Amino acid sequence: MYIVLVNYVKPMSVIDELLPAHRKFLEAYYRDGIFLVSGPREPRDGGIILARCGSREELLGILEQDPFVQQGAAKCEIIEFKATRAGKALAILLDGEC
Protein backbone atom coordinates (compact mmCIF):
# COMPACT_ATOMS: atom_id res chain seq x y z
CA MET A 1 0.00 0.00 0.00
CA TYR A 2 1.23 3.49 -0.77
CA ILE A 3 0.48 7.02 0.27
CA VAL A 4 1.37 9.53 -2.43
CA LEU A 5 1.97 13.08 -1.27
CA VAL A 6 1.43 15.41 -4.20
CA ASN A 7 3.18 18.75 -3.66
CA TYR A 8 2.32 21.69 -5.94
CA VAL A 9 5.34 23.58 -7.20
CA LYS A 10 3.61 25.98 -9.60
CA PRO A 11 0.97 28.67 -8.95
CA MET A 12 -2.64 27.67 -8.36
CA SER A 13 -3.61 29.18 -11.71
CA VAL A 14 -1.51 26.46 -13.40
CA ILE A 15 -2.91 23.75 -11.12
CA ASP A 16 -6.49 24.84 -11.85
CA GLU A 17 -5.80 24.80 -15.59
CA LEU A 18 -4.48 21.22 -15.38
CA LEU A 19 -7.17 19.97 -12.98
CA PRO A 20 -9.58 18.49 -15.59
CA ALA A 21 -6.77 16.45 -17.17
CA HIS A 22 -5.53 15.40 -13.71
CA ARG A 23 -9.02 14.17 -12.78
CA LYS A 24 -9.21 12.16 -16.01
CA PHE A 25 -5.84 10.60 -15.13
CA LEU A 26 -7.10 9.71 -11.63
CA GLU A 27 -10.30 8.16 -12.99
CA ALA A 28 -8.38 5.75 -15.23
CA TYR A 29 -6.51 4.34 -12.24
CA TYR A 30 -9.62 4.20 -10.06
CA ARG A 31 -11.16 1.99 -12.77
CA ASP A 32 -8.04 -0.22 -12.66
CA GLY A 33 -8.27 -0.53 -8.87
CA ILE A 34 -4.88 1.12 -8.33
CA PHE A 35 -6.12 4.34 -6.72
CA LEU A 36 -8.36 3.87 -3.69
CA VAL A 37 -8.83 7.37 -2.23
CA SER A 38 -7.62 10.81 -3.26
CA GLY A 39 -8.24 14.47 -2.62
CA PRO A 40 -6.71 17.88 -2.03
CA ARG A 41 -4.80 18.73 1.10
CA GLU A 42 -5.80 21.55 3.43
CA PRO A 43 -4.47 24.10 2.93
CA ARG A 44 -4.57 23.46 -0.83
CA ASP A 45 -0.86 23.08 -1.45
CA GLY A 46 -1.08 19.57 -2.88
CA GLY A 47 -3.03 16.36 -2.65
CA ILE A 48 -2.99 12.82 -1.30
CA ILE A 49 -3.53 9.54 -3.13
CA LEU A 50 -3.91 6.17 -1.42
CA ALA A 51 -2.81 3.50 -3.88
CA ARG A 52 -2.49 -0.26 -4.01
CA CYS A 53 0.05 -1.30 -6.61
CA GLY A 54 2.38 -4.19 -7.41
CA SER A 55 5.58 -2.23 -6.82
CA ARG A 56 7.01 1.21 -6.16
CA GLU A 57 8.47 1.20 -9.68
CA GLU A 58 5.06 0.49 -11.21
CA LEU A 59 3.52 3.32 -9.18
CA LEU A 60 6.32 5.69 -10.24
CA GLY A 61 5.53 4.87 -13.87
CA ILE A 62 1.86 5.60 -13.28
CA LEU A 63 2.54 8.90 -11.52
CA GLU A 64 4.74 10.03 -14.41
CA GLN A 65 1.55 10.04 -16.52
CA ASP A 66 -0.15 12.59 -14.26
CA PRO A 67 -0.54 15.91 -16.13
CA PHE A 68 0.53 17.74 -12.95
CA VAL A 69 3.85 15.85 -13.05
CA GLN A 70 4.26 15.99 -16.83
CA GLN A 71 3.86 19.79 -16.81
CA GLY A 72 6.20 20.26 -13.84
CA ALA A 73 3.35 21.62 -11.70
CA ALA A 74 3.71 19.02 -8.93
CA LYS A 75 6.18 16.57 -7.45
CA CYS A 76 5.18 13.32 -5.79
CA GLU A 77 6.57 11.66 -2.69
CA ILE A 78 5.75 7.97 -2.21
CA ILE A 79 5.43 6.45 1.24
CA GLU A 80 5.10 2.66 1.32
CA PHE A 81 3.44 0.92 4.25
CA LYS A 82 1.97 -2.45 5.16
CA ALA A 83 -1.67 -2.11 6.19
CA THR A 84 -2.24 -4.51 9.09
CA ARG A 85 -5.38 -3.02 10.67
CA ALA A 86 -8.46 -1.30 9.32
CA GLY A 87 -11.96 -0.40 10.43
CA LYS A 88 -14.88 -2.43 9.09
CA ALA A 89 -15.52 -0.02 6.23
CA LEU A 90 -11.94 -0.44 4.96
CA ALA A 91 -11.22 -4.09 5.85
CA ILE A 92 -11.16 -4.98 2.16
CA LEU A 93 -7.84 -3.12 1.94
CA LEU A 94 -6.21 -5.82 4.05
CA ASP A 95 -6.86 -8.56 1.48
CA GLY A 96 -3.48 -8.07 -0.17
CA GLU A 97 -1.78 -6.14 -2.93
CA CYS A 98 -3.12 -5.93 -6.46
Domains along the chain with CATH numbers:
2-95 (3.30.70.1060)
- Among the listed residues 34, 2, 5, 32, the one whose alpha carbon sits nearest the alpha carbon of residue 68: 5
Residues with Cβ within 8 Å of residue 73, at least 6 apart in sequence: 8, 9, 10, 14, 15, 18, 67
Q: For strand 46-51 and strand 74-80, is the pairing parallel, antiparallel, or unpaired?
A: unpaired
* Segment 10-63, tens digit of pLDDT: 999 999 999 999 999 999 999 999 999 999 999 999 999 999 999 999 999 999
- State residue 83's pLDDT score: 84
* Segment 59-72, tens digit of pLDDT: 999 999 999 999 99
* CA dist., res. 76 & res. 64, Å (int): 9
The confidence band for 91, taking pLDDT boundaries of 50, 70 and 90, is confident
Report if pTM > 0.75.
Answer: yes
